[in-house]
């Protein structure tokens, strides 16, 4: 099997141009640019001899042959300010492998771009629904931070839907290539990472409600300031979590909405996202208890009301040993001594897919460990090493 690096890079840059903003890309799930990219991808799949198939949530498959096939891919939606490679690399590298496999007379490689991996409406929503981790009815009620529902989001692609959800049993396994999005490979000068496991995550919206009031006349001791509550919660939480976490445990308040958001109004309500990740489900549960307890305490102290939103999450998952081994052999052949096995701190669609079939992941380095940022980048040489490792591993499998 002979993948064509130039053809792969050209396609990757073509995808980048849809929603490009400077060096980065803005293509969140179900926006016009995301849908435009999916239509373009469907045409690329067809040109490569794959049958494009949109499922009810907008996951786009490029199906090879009629029998069982190996599935490869990732996602083409982005964060609100996304890099050009997060997801896109895995989809385009998969397409190049599928093309090369066709030219070589086999094996059959199907390709996928999952929808809403970046969690505009939840956590890896498209692959989670496809894999049965959440029912479509439940998912439809999830909301984005702009208030729109998942049902409204996916309705924007309704005219493209090819049919019902595909049976995962038609695929023999799944391999997702991705940029590392962290600093380890770049710092060590290695070219690829063979992923051993993917962390688990919990994500919950929390609302603190006090009372909006005049910022000039309301004495400090009479205020029920929701933002001050959040600020104190954050400080107390950082102190308390330090006692239960590992160095690799992470937690983030990434979205905050202050109401009514005026400089002369004591904020009466604050809604924020609380997300935490760890490789151990027990530790995730212990953190949840501390989070709930700390919010409740702060609310009590400051006369605020608390509302906890739905707890979303994915469990930690180990990668399939046989697929990992195939990737490791190929990595050693393509980058001798310049690769490592490593866990993933980012979430990936592989977590969902692994419920149904052997699944594995390959990483290439991220320059300076930057991702979810317009500056995200990877050296071209490393993008191509990843392509060659995958081709070698797939041929061996």
- Listing DSSP states for 96-127 in one string gives HHHHHHHHTT---EEEEEES-TT-SSSSSHHH
- C-beta of 15 vs 347, nearer to ligand GLV: 347
- C-beta of 99 vs 277, nearer to ligand GLV: 277
Q: How far apart are CA 200 and CA 180, in angstroms?
A: 17
With CB cut-offs between 5 and 8 Å by kind, which of Mn ion, ligand GLV, none does residue 362 bind? none
Cα 312 to the center of its chain, rounded Å:
14
Which residues, 6 or more positions from 51, have their beta carbon under 8 angstroms from its beta carbon? 45, 62, 63, 64
**Closest distance between ligand GLV and the C-beta of residue 346, in Å?**
4
**Closest distance between Mn ion and the C-beta of residue 118, in Å?**
5
With CB cut-offs between 5 and 8 Å by kind, which of ligand GLV, Mn ion, none does residue 382 bind? none
Q: Quick one: which of 58, 87, 200, 268 contacts Mn ion (CB under 5 A)?
A: 87
- C-beta of 28 vs 62, nearer to Mn ion: 28
Are residues 279 and 345 in contact, defined by beta-carbon separation less than 8 angstroms? no
Q: Is 345 in the site for Mn ion (CB under 5 A)?
A: no
For residues 111 to 130, the per-residue mask of contacts with ligand GLV, x marking binding by CB under 6 A and - elsewhere, is -------x------------
Q: How far apart are CA 241 and CA 152, in angstroms?
A: 37
Contacts with Mn ion: how many residues (CB under 5 A)?
2
- Start-end of H helices in the chain: 5-17, 32-47, 88-103, 125-130, 136-140, 150-155, 184-188, 226-241, 281-302, 321-334, 350-353, 380-396
Q: How far apart are CA 308 and CA 208, in angstroms?
A: 9
For residues 290 to 329, the per-residue mask of contacts with ligand GLV, x marking binding by CB under 6 A and - elsewhere, is ----------------------------------------
- C-beta of 207 vs 371, nearer to Mn ion: 371
Q: Quick one: which of 86, 96, 320, 334 contacts Mn ion (CB under 5 A)?
A: 86
Tokens of 201: 């995550």
- C-beta of 145 vs 325, nearer to ligand GLV: 145
**Closest distance between ligand GLV and the C-beta of residue 55, in Å?**
20
* Residues across the chain: 397
- C-beta of 29 vs 64, nearer to ligand GLV: 29
> What phi and psi, each to the nearest 5 degrees, are found at residue 18?
-85, 105
Q: Is 62 in the site for Mn ion (CB under 5 A)?
A: no
Are residues 247 and 295 in contact, defined by beta-carbon separation less than 8 angstroms? no
In the block, tokens 């005026």 appear at 262
Q: Is 18 in the site for ligand GLV (CB under 6 A)?
A: no
Q: Is 376 in the site for ligand GLV (CB under 6 A)?
A: no
**Closest distance between ligand GLV and the C-beta of residue 118, in Å?**
5
Q: Quick one: which of 18, 195, 346, 383 contacts ligand GLV (CB under 6 A)?
A: 346
Q: How far apart are CA 372 and CA 78, in angstroms?
A: 8
- Listing DSSP states for 224-292 in one string gives --HHHHHHHHHHHHHHHHTTT--TT-EEE---EEEES--TTEE--EEEEEEEEEES-HHHHHHHHHHHH
**Closest distance between ligand GLV and the C-beta of residue 384, in Å?**
23
Q: Quick one: which of 144, 347, 359, 364 contacts ligand GLV (CB under 6 A)?
A: 347
With CB cut-offs between 5 and 8 Å by kind, which of Mn ion, ligand GLV, none does residue 347 bind? ligand GLV
For residues 257 to 276, the per-residue mask of contacts with ligand GLV, x marking binding by CB under 6 A and - elsewhere, is --------------------
- Contact set with ligand GLV (CB under 6 A): 118, 346-347
């Amino acid at each position: 099997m002979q993948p064509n690096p130039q053809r792969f890079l050209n396609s990757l840059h073509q995808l980048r141009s849809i929603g490009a903003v400077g060096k980065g890309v803005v293509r969140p799930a179900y926006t016009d640019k995301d849908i435009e990219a999916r239509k373009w991808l469907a045409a690329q799949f067809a040109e490569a001899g794959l049958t494009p198939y949109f499922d009810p949530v907008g996951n786009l498959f490029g199906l090879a042959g009629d029998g069982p096939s190996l599935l490869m891919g990732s996602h083409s939606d982005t964060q609100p300010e996304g890099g050009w490679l997060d997801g896109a690399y895995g989809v385009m590298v998969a397409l190049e492998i599928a093309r090369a496999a066709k030219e070589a007379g086999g094996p059959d490689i199907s390709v996928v771009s999952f929808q809403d991996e970046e969690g505009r409406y939840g956590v890896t929503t498209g692959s989670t629904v496809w894999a049965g981790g959440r029912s479509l009815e439940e998912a439809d009620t999830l909301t984005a931070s702009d208030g729109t529902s998942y049902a409204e989001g996916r309705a924007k692609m309704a005219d493209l839907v090819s049919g019902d959800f595909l049976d995962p049993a038609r695929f023999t396994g799944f391999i997702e290539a991705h940029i590392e999005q962290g600093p380890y490979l770049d710092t060590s000068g290695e070219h690829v990472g063979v992923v051993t496991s993917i962390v688990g995550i919990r994500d919950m919206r929390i609302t603190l409600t006090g009372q909006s009031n005049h910022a000039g006349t309301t004495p400090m001791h009479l205020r029920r300031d929701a933002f001050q509550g959040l600020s104190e919660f954050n400080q107390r939480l950082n102190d308390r979590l330090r006692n239960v976490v590992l160095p690799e445990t992470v937690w983030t308040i990434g979205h905050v909405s202050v109401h009514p958001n005026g400089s002369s109004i004591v904020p009466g309500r604050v809604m924020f996202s609380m997300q935490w990740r760890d490789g151990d489900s027990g530790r995730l549960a212990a953190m949840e208890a501390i989070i709930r307890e700390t919010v409740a305490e702060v609310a009590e102290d400051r006369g605020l009301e608390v509302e906890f939103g739905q707890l979303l999450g994915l469990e930690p998952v180990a990668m399939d040993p046989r697929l990992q081994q195939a990737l490791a052999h190929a990595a050693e052949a393509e980058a001798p001594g310049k690769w490592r096995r490593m866990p993933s701190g980012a979430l990936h669609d592989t977590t969902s897919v692994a419920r149904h079939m052997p699944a594995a992941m390959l990483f290439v380095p991220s320059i300076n460990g930057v991702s979810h940022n317009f500056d995200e980048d990877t050296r071209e040489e490393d993008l191509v090493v990843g392509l060659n490792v995958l081709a070698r591993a797939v041929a061996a499998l």
